[in-house]
Structure 1
């Protein structure tokens, strides 16, 4: 029974499930906290700092302000810590944040699996259109980076961090989803449908966060490596790749689209033909278990350091939240 369970549950799925549970806890706790702010609840729960992981634009502005002024964002410090941790992880373990941790990535993956059941398959987009669509997330990334890092001075970024708009951006995000307009429902519904039909549609074509981490991951020493001598060209690696990378044709997978999910490595029928290594000559490969442990240790360590140094919890008080909430 244990062997049968092991075949269906991978280390990656365990890590994904763990972070999905954490995100759900953060969401529920944040809703309760906002009810406290509004005076509709007598419970006393602290604001979960992890909610700032859903404020990537604020984190980018905070990063700009920190680089320019040396002052770490006091309003949404956890958002900046999460962004920096995701970048550091990508420097070492490719875009593993996307395939192992990101709740949107987990949701997108789940929708693709449902799509396979409902429609019998996931569809693919023609090569030319695929290249064009993939460029969209980089264009969105360039747009935000240009505006924030080149269009704003350090003083402007630091001032934005302290604006009432930024202070309650987490509340605005919650209100957006609680009171979706017809347009919002239509856009989200369309994205869900496309994710059912096309595997990882949002992550592959539209997520600027993934685009940033993909570019950073080019510097990662670890890459999927193929032993050309023992490869039998069965094509199972390419077929299993959610990013549609032609793994069977590559000696080393350099593509920024590689998320380090290791689907290809696990699907390869010939032992040690596909490995996640530092170089072609190195025999020792990182296993899924090693990556799972590494990711959990890194995230726990960086959050612990942030808490210890006072760079995790917001400086905003309940009184400040209530004053801004009424406005």
Structure 2
């Protein structure tokens, strides 16, 4: 049986590592924007390419452009690389990106734990309402897929990537948070409150990125697999699942909601009854080995992108200095 404490430590350590990295990227990006916005500055702080992880729509359009034109995006190349890395992780190990790497997933889990400590219980929506709300993220994903992959041709996708709006999309994102209106504050505040009350509210009901990765994860070769002959039907696995999957009733978990967090495996009291395994038992992934696989793939893909010149933006400092004063003039319409 897996070591419960070991499972907890490995996943929390990886989550903490990526959360710290995101924080450092945010601080560096703020410094970059401040330096490039100063008309008297002669030295500029480096722009962290990793900030492009927060431009998923731009990355999706860049993916469409790359597939149809063969041209890899040079405006936000890191965004496309991170998008490809997240899809690769999901194709192999379910939605492990969501439960091991994604900072929103980490924040969502933290808010849920806070709520459980405050209220001493988990709040759960009725099954009928839960199913209905879960469809929202797939509807949002469907909208973006239809708009980008059906209505937008390759030339249009490439042209969008070259627009001033896309060039400064990351800076406009920062401006949204630094100059937040009461509407934005109310929406974010509402999501925080709902995430405290209802476990994984954003990830479960509204995140189109998670919806896409969940669909890809359905064809992942590694899945949670249960040995019925040794299962004692204690239901501890299902209770531990943050996504309300009835693990105790399934020989293998195909659900797109499975994030590969291994909470169910950690709670199973019978050795080798639950495994994160291939169809034919060959190589089960423990928390340690899954952590090494996920981080190894992530670091490897980013390393290759850097070595091949597919990481840093082609936008010059002069272009940024010209575009930033006109930031309010650019829109996605």
Q: Same fold (TM over 0.5)?
A: yes
Could you list the structure 1 runs, at least 4 aligned residues long, displaced by more than 2 angstroms after superposition.
Answer: 4-9, 40-45
**2:101 alignment counterpart:** 101
Specify the SS of the correspondent of 2:312.
Answer: coil
Q: Distance in 2 between matches of 1:300 and 1:102?
A: 14
Whole-angstrom CA distance in 1 between matches of 2:317 and 2:150: 34
User: 1:268–1:274: 8 Å Cα contact kept in structure 2?
Assistant: yes
Residues 5-154 of structure 1 mapped to structure 2, 5 A cutoff: 6=5, 9-39=8-38, 44-154=44-154
- 2:162 corresponding residue in structure 1: 162
**Structure 1 equivalent of residue 331 of structure 2:** none
Is 1:319 aligned to 2:318, yes or no?
yes
Q: Any idea what the Cα deviations from partners look like across 1:247-281, whole Å, max 9, x if unmatched?
A: 010000000000000000011011100001012x4
Whether contact under 8 Å (2:95, 2:213) holds in the other structure is yes
Counterparts of 2:304 and 2:32, CA distance in 1: 25
Q: How does 1:193-208 map to 2 (within 5 A)?
A: 193-208=193-208
1:79-131 CA distance string (max 9 Å, x none) = 00000110011110110000000000000000000000111112111111111
What is the CA–CA distance in structure 2 between the aligned matches of 1:167 and 1:292, rounded to whole Å? 34
| Partner SS state of residue 64, structure 1 | helix
Identify if the C-alpha distance between structure 1 residues 138 and 26 changes in structure 2 by more than 3 Å, giving closer, same or farther.
Answer: same
Query: Normalising to structure 1: TM-score of the pair?
Result: 0.96
CA offsets 1:113-168 (integer angstroms, 9 cap, x no match): 00001111121111111111010000000000100111111111110000000000
* Partner residue in 1 for 2:302: 303
Aligned-pair CA distance for 1:43: 5.9
Contact 1:122 1:196 in 2 (8 A): no
Counterpart-to-counterpart distance in 2, 1:86 and 1:234: 34
SS at match of 1:269: coil
Task: Provide the secondary structure at the position in 2 that maps to 1:124.
Answer: coil
More RCO (CA 8 Å, sep 6+): 2
| Partner-residue secondary structure (3-state), 1:275 | strand
Unaligned runs of 5+ residues in structure 2 are: 327-333
- Count of aligned positions: 323
* 1:45 Cα offset (Å): 2.2
- The alignment partner of 2:290 has SS state of helix
Quote the Cα distance in structure 2 between the aligned partners of 1:213 and 1:178.
Answer: 30
Q: Aligned runs of 1:155-234 on 2, under 5 Å?
A: 155-234=155-234
TM-score, L = length of structure 2: 0.94
Q: Give the 3-state SS of the residue equivalent to 2:224 in structure 1.
A: strand
Mean CA deviation greater in 86-95 or 38-47 = 38-47
Query: Residue 210 of structure 1: CA displacement?
Result: 0.2
RMSD value over aligned CA atoms? 1.5
What is the aligned partner in structure 2 of residue 274 from structure 1? 274
